[in-house]
Amino acid sequence: MFRRSYLWESLRRLAWGIARTSMLTVFLLSSPPLSAQEPLAAPQGPVILSVTGDLGRTNGAQRADFDIDMLKERPSAEIVTSTPWTDGTIAFTGVPLADLIDELGIDGGTLRAIALNNYAVEIPVSDAGRGNPIIAYARDGALMSVRDKGPLWVIYPFDEGRALRNEEIQARSIWQLRTIEVRK
């Protein structure tokens, strides 16, 4: 059992690594100057997510701020799963964390995810895509309030397998996410 899940995990990691590398390569070869030069749009509404640190694209001083519309504009993914903190199965909608990392040109270091209550967890960039998490902004189609653990909640497809039901992944599944600091 354990052995199989470890194997599975390593395969996933490898696949992810290859995918990410190739995406980066495509990104760098096809349009790095354009992407790098094109500035990120500025937020119009209240900022609900700030990414700070050494970024490839910004809309502020060493930071990228997002309002809810900016997040909703981006390609989204849906994860239907149960969680340890809720009852029943829920459909979460959000931006894949990996997409965000790529788009902002983050290519190494550690992500420090911080919640509204200052709860924080560190995730190495190299491992951030494992389990294909999303930064969810909607729950069963509706935006999430702080009372619903919103507005942003990092969600993993927990129901997909045992590999994701462990302390490490659960710790990364941070709710009321507000800031991501990129540290070298």
Partner 1 sequence: MTRALGDVSVPAARRGRIVLIAVGALAVFAVALIGIVVTVLGSDLAQTLRELRTARSENPQWSLSHTEIEFLRYRSEIDRTRIEGADSLSDLRQSFDIVYSRLETIKRGQVMSSLRNRADFMAHLDAFSAFLDQSAEIIDGEDARLIARLETLTQLADGVYPDLRRMGLITLENWNTGSNTRRDYLLGLLSQLLVVLGIGLFLLLLALALLVRLALDLQRSHGDLAQAMELAQRRERDKARFLSIMSHEIRNPLNGLLGALNLLSDMRMSPEQAKAVSVMQTCGGLLDDLVNRVLDPDKDEGGLTAVAPRPVDVAALVRAIVDSMQASARLKELDMRVDVARAADHTVMTDPVLLAQTLENLIGNALKFTDAGQIDVTAEIRGASAGAPATPEAELVLVVSDTGRGIAKDRQQQVFDDYHSARSETDRRPSGTGLGLGVVRRIAEALGGEISVESTPGAGSAFRLTCPVRLAQTPKGGAAAPRQRTSMTALNLLVAEDVDFNRMVIETYLREDGHHVTLVEDGAQAVVSCRDTAYDLLVLDVQMPVMDGVAALRRIRSDGGASSRAAAIAITAYAVDDEKEALRAEGFQDVLRKPIDRTILRHAIAHNTAAARSG
Measured between its terminal Cα atoms, the distance across the chain in Å is 36
Site size toward partner 1 (CB under 8 A) is: 25
E strand map for the chain: 49-52, 63-66, 77-81, 90-96, 110-115, 120-124, 134-139, 142-143, 153-155, 177-183
Least Å distance, CB 2 to partner 1, is 8
93, 136 Cβ separation under 8 angstroms: yes
Q: Which stretch binds partner 1 (CB under 8 A): 9-17, 32-40, 55-63, 78-86?
A: 78-86
Least Å distance, CB 19 to partner 1, is 27
Q: Which stretch binds partner 1 (CB under 8 A): 25-33, 98-106, 122-130, 145-153?
A: 145-153
Site track for partner 1 across 25-64, x = CB under 8 A: ----------------------------------------
Which residue reads 């997040």 in tokens?
A: 71
What string of DSSP letters covers 94-109?
EEEHHHHHHHTT--SS
Least Å distance, CB 148 to partner 1, is 7
